[in-house]
């Protein structure tokens, strides 16, 4: 059931990406629907599933964005792992926790892309400017809106969070 939700979310994110690119060519510089999808899926706390979801969503984003193939796949995988790891320990639930995870994931995503572009392409890109702040705010607000709509539509908590078993 979770993979079906993920695939539907991936199709919605891809459609949103295509629509935004056709109306506003550089819209993904200010909003990233793939981060919302990854955070939503990763908040369940399943590390392996989050890693595969990050790879799949990142490869789809790479295929349609014209960036270095694997750049977004790696950055979204790092984000998915970080969110899933934190949520496997803390079992965060609710809109505010989702928003906090989105803010952290957008910052981690931009930081990983910044480092990879500087290392692989040896290009200087601006990291901390207005675009990152706007991207963080828009992605967080839209993601929290989507989370609230899912809560109203499903009439329950949309994320099934599980706590990871401790070994000792």
For residues 39 and 125, the model is more confident at: 39
Task: Report pLDDT digits (tens) over 92-141.
Answer: 788 888 899 999 999 999 899 888 888 887 777 666 666 788 888 999 99
Rounded to whole angstroms, how far apart are CA atoms 63 and 61? 5
pTM assigned to the model: 0.86
Other CB atoms within 10 A of residue 97 CB: 18
Rounded to whole angstroms, how far apart are CA atoms 115 and 44? 28
């Amino acid at each position: 059931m979770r993979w079906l939700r993920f695939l539907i979310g991936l199709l919605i994110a891809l459609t949103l990406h295509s629509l935004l690119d056709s109306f506003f060519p550089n819209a993904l510089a200010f909003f990233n629907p793939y981060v919302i999808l990854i955070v939503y899926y990763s908040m369940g706390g399943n590390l392996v599933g989050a890693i595969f979801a990050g790879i799949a969503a990142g490869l789809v984003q790479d295929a349609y964005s014209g960036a270095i193939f694997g750049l977004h796949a790696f950055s979204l995988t790092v984000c998915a792992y970080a969110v899933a790891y934190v949520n496997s320990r803390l079992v965060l639930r609710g809109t505010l926790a989702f928003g906090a995870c989105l803010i952290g994931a957008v910052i981690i995503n931009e930081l990983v892309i910044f480092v990879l572009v500087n290392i692989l392409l040896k290009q200087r890109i601006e990291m901390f400017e207005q675009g990152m702040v706007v991207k963080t705010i828009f992605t967080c607000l839209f993601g929290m809106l989507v989370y609230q709509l899912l809560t109203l539509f499903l009439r329950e908590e949309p994320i099934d969070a599980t706590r990871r078993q401790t070994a000792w």
